[in-house]
Structure 1
Amino acid sequence: MKVTLKALRVMKEMTQKEVAKELGISKDTWSSYERGKTFPDVPVIEKIEELFDVKYSDIIFYHKLAVKPQLDKQTA
């Protein structure tokens, strides 16, 4: 089953601050990962796998498209 970082955190009943502390990163960094703004490096991914007992291949890192669709200027 594929799951987002936020879902992993919520299922474990942890706050962003708690997860960040466990991983040795800032809360803002974890928040950026959850929102798909940045991507964790390999050492952090390994810690995420261990903390949540999940494989890398089962994690959805980017769950939203970063690009918003453009409206046709003629219809706007």
Structure 2
Amino acid sequence: MNERLRELRIKSGYTQVQIAKILNIDRSTYSYYEIGKTTPDITVLMTLAKVFNIAINDLLADEGTPETVADSGAKSNFIYSKKNTSHIYELSGNEKILVGVFRSCTVQEQEKILKYLKENIKK
């Protein structure tokens, strides 16, 4: 789990500080998740899955045993063929936090945020 969190964070372009801000925890707490000293609870895991834009099953998947998928009889390594859809390197630090917080919201909360922005931000 700890290595998977680190890999996802790096591939997504986040720093530990940014993820900690999104989760509203200390950086050291998040660092402990990545080094395996502690394990995040289910609510934190659900939030992280949203932030990284992946299914919770993908977050919990055992990376040690890659799945093989048959395609027209040919086998390929499924894990290595997946694209990371949450790549956000081109954003500033605050923009990354904004995206992470937005992703961690429920659909209803996201709709409220968008409605607020549309009504209050001049174009």
The TM-score, its normalising length taken from structure 2, stands at 0.44
- Match runs of 1:42-53 below 5 Å: 42-53=42-53
Find the aligned partners of 2:55 and 2:4 in 1 and give their Cα distance.
12
Q: CA deviation at 1:13?
A: 0.9
* Superposition deviation, residue 55 in structure 1: 2.4
CA distance in 2, matches of 1:21, 1:44: 12
| Runs of 4+ off more than 6 Å | none
User: Which residue in the other structure is 1:25 paired with?
Assistant: 25
RMSD of the TM alignment (CA)? Answer: 2.3
- Provide the secondary structure at the position in 2 that maps to 1:59: helix
What TM-score do you get using the length of structure 1 for normalisation?
0.68
How far apart are 1:54 and its partner, in Å?
Answer: 1.8
**SS of equivalent to 1:38:** coil
Question: How far is the alpha carbon of 1:57 from its aligned partner?
Answer: 2.5
1:31-70 equivalences in 2 (<5 Å): 31-59=31-59
Structure 1: unaligned runs, 5 residues or longer: 64-76
Structure-2 separation of matches of 1:24 and 1:43:
12
Percent of pairs with identical residues? 35
Q: Which has the higher contact order (CA 8 A, sep 6+)?
A: 1
CA deviations over 1:5-54 (Å, ceiling 9, x no partner): 00111011111000100111110011000011100011111110110012
